[in-house]
A = this chain, B = another copy of it.
Amino acid sequence: MSSTFQAVDPSTGTPGATFEAATPADVHAAVTAADEAFRAGALRDPQRRAALLRGAAERLRAAGDEIVAVAGSETGLPEGRLRGELERTAGQLEAFAAVVDAGDYVEAIIDRADPDAKPIPRPDVRRMLVPIGPVAVFGASNFPLAFSTAGGDTASALAAGCPVIVKGHPSHPGTSAVVARELAGAVADAGLPEATFALLQSSGVEVGEALVDEPAIAAVGFTGSFAGGKALYDRAAARERPIPVFAEMGSVNPIVVTEAALSERSEAIAEGLAASVASFGGQLCTKPGVVFIPAGEAGEAFAADLGARLTAAEPQVLLNERLRDALTASVAELGELAEPVDGAGTPAEPGFRFRPAAYRAAADDVRDRPGLLEERFGPIVLLLSYRSREELLDALLRIDGQLTGSVHAQPEDAELVALLTVALGERAGRVIFDGFPTGVAVTYGMHHGGPFPATTAPAHTSVGMTAIRRFLRPVALQDAPEHVLPPELQDANPLGIWRRVDGELTRDALTQ
């Protein structure tokens, strides 16, 4: 029994190519093969993994024109954005190859034996991180490359040594297919088993559910809606063997603008904010959804400026019909709770478009209208005006776990900024100063995560080099003979990695 589904160009609503959906048997076969590939051992070779990641980057760049063309027709995203996203995706794969090369992501720790230790003699204990097992990745609709088939979850899981099975997002099946073809080529080029990577396409939820239920799946990476991520989290927790779900589910990304900042650079902030809200249809998990501005004349002027900028912008193409309908309903709800500053946010044509808009309410209103603080995935922003520092801080305390929080301030705001840094740091994974949360830089220490409900795993990130930690678990070897020690734990430290020996970081070999 097979079924099919169609790609759709959201800029016109025109149906495109037809794709065959995976069956339950396909899911089981892919996971079984991935588990065998995991156990076979070739993935333990860091050189092959680095070759896979670099090869994938090279192949994606080489197929860039084809990928950008298909992705453009399936997402409505502009070519410049897709070229940038492709380069980011390739760069991310290469950055994880460098992490594999450096090798110290295994967090090797060696505690040498101490026969005189009290209360009991101490054995030789050597611990490192090892891959957790086959990983299921759910791609996001809004980043058809960087958070999808060969995106950050896939790159970090492969770098860790875990086979990956991607449930392709039905909003860009052609893009997923082309990227998967190149990734499969890189797997073969690197001499790794074919089942190191697989793509399962489907438009319904059954394939994803079956994937999470497969006993051999060891962890799940997900980027998308709260409803989707929470459903996977609940499903994975209810398995006979529960597994971790690293779901990044978005947030309202509060921004605070101080009175001093507004009087100094109101126009620059309005310009940056309008771009951050409306670009790419506002369909970014870090899109600013709520902005706190001072009540009074300067705030009024700022709101009017921002509202006009958004209303004047072109209607934005949304990624698919479902998102357009959900946003339409959500903005209608917002219209009951707040007022449009200028024009209202409404759907537009051709295809699945939406008019950007700003809404406004008083910061104090969030006490009685918690719906004001819900995410609206699209080019919509809510301005909340505060009359005092107390009102501002009180409203901030009502905000749930967030991916980001931002502050626009001036040097004279030092005391307030310190308070805001604590308040935002308690509820967000990243605090940004005098900038906007969109445009997440892929750097070593980037943290793209945050307390629930922004994610289901506040201790982890889905962007940046430490994302690899999600797919690793420690194993300790006690009094192991040298011949079974992996290179990372051998006395001679043949890989030259950083290790913690008797509590101190060092790259030296062990001396007896």
Interface residues of A (CB under 8 A from B): 39, 41, 83-85, 87-88, 91, 98, 102, 104, 107, 109-111, 117-120, 122-123, 125-127, 130, 132, 233-234, 237, 241-244, 401, 411, 414, 417-418, 421-422, 425-426, 428-435, 439, 441, 443-447, 449, 451-453, 456-461, 464-466, 469-470, 472-481, 483-484, 498, 500, 502-503, 505
Contact = CB atoms under 8 A, between A and B. Distances in A.
Contacts of A460: 474
A443 B457 CA distance: 27
Given A91-B119, A433-B480, 17 more contacts: A87-B118, A87-B119, A88-B119, A111-B444, A122-B443, A125-B443, A125-B446, A127-B446, A127-B466, A233-B242, A241-B452, A244-B459, A429-B476, A431-B475, A433-B479, A444-B502, A459-B469
A500 B125 contact: no
A32 B431 CA distance: 26
Nearest to A448: B476
Contacts of A477: 421, 425, 430-431, 433
Secondary structure call for the A interface: mixed
Given A125-B446, A477-B433, A421 B500 contact: no
10 contacts: A39-B426, A120-B439, A421-B477, A428-B475, A429-B474, A430-B476, A444-B503, A447-B475, A460-B474, A466-B474
Given A109-B466, A234-B237, A445-B109, A429 B475 contact: yes
A84 B476 CA distance: 24
A444 B500 contact: yes
A240 to B, nearest CB: 9
B502 A430 contact: no
Contact of A431 (B443, B445, B478): B478
A470 B242 CA distance: 18
Contacts of A120: 84, 439, 441
B122 A433 contact: no
- Which of A123, A234, A476 has the most chain B CB within a 10 Å cutoff? A476
In the complex, the count of this chain's copies comes to 2
Contacts of A435: 123, 478-479
A200 to B, nearest CB: 25
A484 B418 contact: yes
B127 A483 contact: no
Contacts of A466: 107, 109, 127, 474
State the 3 A-B residue pairs at the shortest beta-carbon distance, nearest first: A109-B445, A127-B445, A84-B119
Nearest to A505: B498
B244 A484 contact: no
Contacts of A446: 111, 125, 127, 476
A445 B242 contact: no
Contacts of A472: 459
A500 B445 contact: yes
A433 B474 contact: no
Contacts of A459: 132, 244, 469-470, 472-474
Given A109-B466, A500-B444, A418 B483 contact: yes
B109 A444 contact: yes
Contacts of A457: 244
Contacts of A417: 481, 483-484
A473 B451 contact: yes
Contact of A478 (B117, B242, B430, B503): B430
A474 B452 contact: no
A88, A443, A452: most-surrounded residue (chain B CB, <10 A): A443
Given A111-B443, A472-B459, A474-B447, A434 B122 contact: no
Contacts of A425: 130, 475, 477
A218 to B, nearest CB: 8
Contacts of A431: 475-478, 480
A132 to B, nearest CB: 7
A83 B31 CA distance: 50
A426 B41 CA distance: 12
B449 A474 contact: yes
A434 B476 contact: no
A470 B234 CA distance: 21
